[in-house]
Structures are given as C-alpha cells and as structure tokens.
Amino acid sequence: QPVIGVLALQGDVREHAAMIERAGGRAVAVRRESELASVDGLVLPGGESTTMSRLLETFGLLGPLRERLAGGMPAFGSCAGMILLARQALDGRPDQQQLGALDVIVRRNAFGRQVDSFEADLQFETLTSGQPLHAVFIRAPWVEKAGDGVEVLARVPESPATGGAGARIVAVRQGPVLATAFHPELTGDDRVHRLFVGMVRDAATTSETEER
Ligand code: GLN
C-alpha cells in the first residue's frame, strides 16, 4: 500500500487524507522534513499559495520538497497546490516561491475576475468510467500556458466563467506530477485520487525495477 503524504500546512488536509485512504493509499500528514522523507508521494492541498510558500520556508520544507520532486517523487496539487507546483505564477506576489515541478504558467485567481467560485462538469481524460467529473472551483487558477511535455487532462469550456476568452486548461499531468485547478477532495468522487494513487504505485514499481 503506497504511503501518501498530505502537506499539512494549510487547506483541506483531512478531506484529502480521507480520499487517499478511500482510493487505496495510506495517508500521513507531512509537516517536517523527516515525514516528507518517508512518503512515496505527496498531495499539496489548496489554500493560499503565497502563505503556503512562506510556510514551506518556515517549516524548512522548501528545499527538501524541491529535491524530492527533482528525484521524481509523485505529487498531486489542487488549486493553490497547482500554483506551487508550476514553474511560474502570474498575478502572484513577488516573494511567492515556485516548486517548478510542472512546465506550466498558471494565472492566480484567474476566474475571479468574473466569478469567485463556481462548479462545472468536466470531461476529464484518462479517468475510469468516462462519466463527467463534477468540479468545484474556489478562487481558482487556470493554466495559461503548458509546455510540450504536459498532458492536458481537462478544460473548462468557453463560458461566463472563462470570460469569453475560450476554454481554459484546469487539469494537467507531467510524468509523476498531477495538478487540478479545482478541489476533487470536496465532491465525494474519488476518481482523481485513484488516478494519483495509481501513479504513486506505478512510480514505486518502476524505481524498484531500477534498483534491481
Ligand atoms: N486563490 C488561491 C491562491 O492564489 C488559491 C485558492 C484555493 O486554493 N482554493 O493561492
């Protein structure tokens, strides 16, 4: 059973942990470097990305987390977690730190110009059952630009929420790193967490094979 950390500095820590357990992983809270060192993958919940990046520094986790991501640790970021994982954030504060694990440029509070929060049913690639995914957006970012190696998993179609600017990317994957602009921990549908637990399992199998 893969051990999956939930970064416990801010946000929906308990909800993510419950979804990870439901999806077949073992969830542990991560607040220290020693806890980070022992997990097979990490969930970065939503919250406020500037505050979270400051807390990462305060807790001495920023450097160790960058190292683990560079070493291929699977990660799943939702909302502020997605912002942190990105290589660049637009409309961020100047002191906001980026983890740079995803080759994307995100825009913070992107939908907020039109609406603060909204819900939408999304077509989400690679999810089992093919049913649309109900997604909750709370002062959410969108992906403004995705690099060539980034797989786009879901878009919010052209709608009042996107301000007439066309469809917007809201879920991506790049190798072992998954990110959603919305909060899949809030809807009771555990398919995104299942996808992530599967990614952690696959990464563990690959690294065991490499060690042999
Ligand atoms: N607006 C927040 C930020 O910029 C993200 C909101 C969320 O995580 N729900 O960090």
Instruction: Show me where the domains of the chain are located.
Output: 3-211
Answer yes or no: is 22 a known binding residue.
no
Known binding residue 53? Answer is no
Q: Which residue of 7, 53, 98, 139 sits with most ligand 1 atoms within 8 Å of its CB, as the best mutation to test the pocket?
A: 139
Q: Is 193 a catalytic residue?
A: no
Active site residue 185: yes
Instruction: Output the pLDDT for position 93.
Output: 80
Class (C level, CATH) for 3-211: alpha beta
Length in residues, the chain: 212
pLDDT at 212: 55
Q: Which atom of ligand 1 is nearest to the CA of 108?
A: 4
Which position among 15, 16, 33, 183 bears the catalytic label?
183
List residues bridging with 104 in a β-sheet: 146
- Judged against a pLDDT cut of 80, whether residue 164 lies above it is answered with no
Q: What is the pLDDT of residues 187-207, one digit of tens each?
A: 999 999 999 999 999 998 877
Number of H helices, E strands in the chain: 6, 12
Catalytic residue among 57, 185, 193, 211: 185
Task: Give the mean pLDDT of 171-195.
Answer: 97
| Percent of the chain scoring above 70 in pLDDT | 95
**Which atom in ligand 1 lies closest to the alpha carbon of residue 80?**
8
Please tell me the predicted confidence (pLDDT) of residue 104. Answer: 98
Residue 160 has pLDDT above 70, yes or no: yes
How many CB atoms lie under 10 A from the CB of residue 75? 28
Q: Is 183 a catalytic residue?
A: yes
> Ligand 1, closest atom to CA 109?
1
The pLDDT tens digits of the residues spanning 11-27 come to 999 999 999 999 999 99
Whether 153 shows a pLDDT value over 70: the answer reads: yes
**47 annotated to bind ligand:** yes
The answer, yes or no, to whether residue 91 has pLDDT greater than 70, is yes
With the CA atoms of 31, 32, 34 and 39 taken in that order, what torsion angle do they form, in degrees rounded to the nearest 10?
A: 30
Is the pLDDT at 166 greater than 90, yes or no?
no
Q: What's the confidence (pLDDT) of residue 101?
A: 98
* 127 has a pLDDT exceeding 80: no
At CB < 8 A and 24+ separation, what contacts does 169-175 make? 169/142, 169/143, 170/122, 170/135, 170/137, 170/140, 170/142, 170/143, 171/122, 171/124, 172/102, 172/104, 172/143, 172/146, 173/126, 174/101, 174/102, 174/103, 174/104, 174/147, 174/149, 174/150, 175/72, 175/149
- The whole-number average pLDDT for the span 45-67 is 96
- Which residues, listed in sequence order, are joined to residue 13 by a DSSP beta bridge? none
Instruction: Kindly name the residue from 79, 134, 158, 210 that is annotated as catalytic.
Output: 79
